[in-house]
Amino acid sequence: MRLTVEPAEAGRRLDALLAEPLGSRSRAARLIDAGAVLVDGRAEPKRYAVQAGQTIEVDDPDDAPVPLDVGAAVDYAVPYEDEHLLVVDKPAGVVVHPARGHLTGTLAQALEGTAEGGEDGWRAGLVHRLDRDTSGLLVVAKSDAIHAALKEALQAREITREYLALVEGRPPSRTGTIDAPIGRDRRVRTRMSTDTDNPRDARTHFEIAEALPAFTLLRVTLETGRTHQIRVHLQAINHPVAGDPDYGHAGLLGLERQFLHAARLAFTHPVTGAPVEVESPLPADLAAALQAARTPVL
């Protein structure tokens, strides 16, 4: 595996950075200690702080390479496409990138041959990502140049990513900003948290879209893009996303996943300069849960 450190990842510990693509931090640490990880051609300790632009190579003899054309049958919609880029509407249950435990059937593999861009070929032009059980919109490049331009726009906060989230209870104000660093949880290493030894800046903005008897539908926008950011931040203010099995209460309103949907993307086209705005309606399972939430509590 070969990857390039993004500017937003600068300063992270080497083992923490590799935890997600390798499946766990312990596995990353084992490979680093075994000398199977090189940073710009040099072995570094697991506590090493990576820098933007560095190339990390992982040589794990226990893993055979996974061809990117595996999983081409993944279901997804394309609400916008031109010769330079496309916007994909990802259903819940689809993993974006290959990782340990999800080596096939990913969106990146399904996009191989359609999308391209980025120094890591296995990303298949994807500019950002969504959790497996979060549905909605992703922008995808068709070339290295467009990928670089879109990544720059994302880092400059020039791409609007708006989500719909149904949360438990009601926030005390109609709008708000949650500004709380996020990192790997101190105690439960598979979760992210504001209680962490490795905090990274994270800011989430929200406004109330609809107030319901026991729930609230929020429009949420991201200023940063940390792993599980919306879910962690809403839990931190005691309004977890409805149905969230990791950060809230599973099964609410008949949900089999968290009520979180990437509903709108807006950005300036990197070639034409024209505004691009794409919206995605709520999937059937979330629409049914919202209707159930509208029912008065007796």
Q: Which residues are catalytic?
A: 131
Amino acid at site 123: R
And the tokens for 249?
Answer: 């209460």
d(CA 226, CA 79): 25
CB–CB of 226/182 below 8 Å? yes
**For residue 93, what are its two tokens?**
């249950």
- Which of these, 237, 227, 220, lies nearest to 202 by C-alpha position? 227
Dist CA 61 CA 56 (whole Å)? 16
The C-alpha atoms of residue 28 and residue 37 are separated, in whole angstroms, by 9
Instruction: Give which of 124, 169, 167, 162 is closest to 143, Cα–Cα.
Output: 124
Q: How far apart are CA 226 and CA 202, in angstroms?
A: 7
Give CA–CA dist 271/82, Å, rounded.
11
The residue length of the chain stands at 298
- Strand ranges in the chain using DSSP code E only, listed in sequence order: 2-4, 37-39, 55-58, 77-81, 85-90, 135-141, 160-168, 175-179, 183-184, 192-193, 203-211, 215-222, 260-268, 275-279
Yes or no: say if 90 and 135 are a contact pair by the CB < 8 Å rule. Answer: yes
Distance CA 151, CA 147 (A): 6
Q: Which two tokens stand for residue 57?
A: 């190579």
Q: Are 246 and 231 in contact (CB under 8 A)?
A: yes
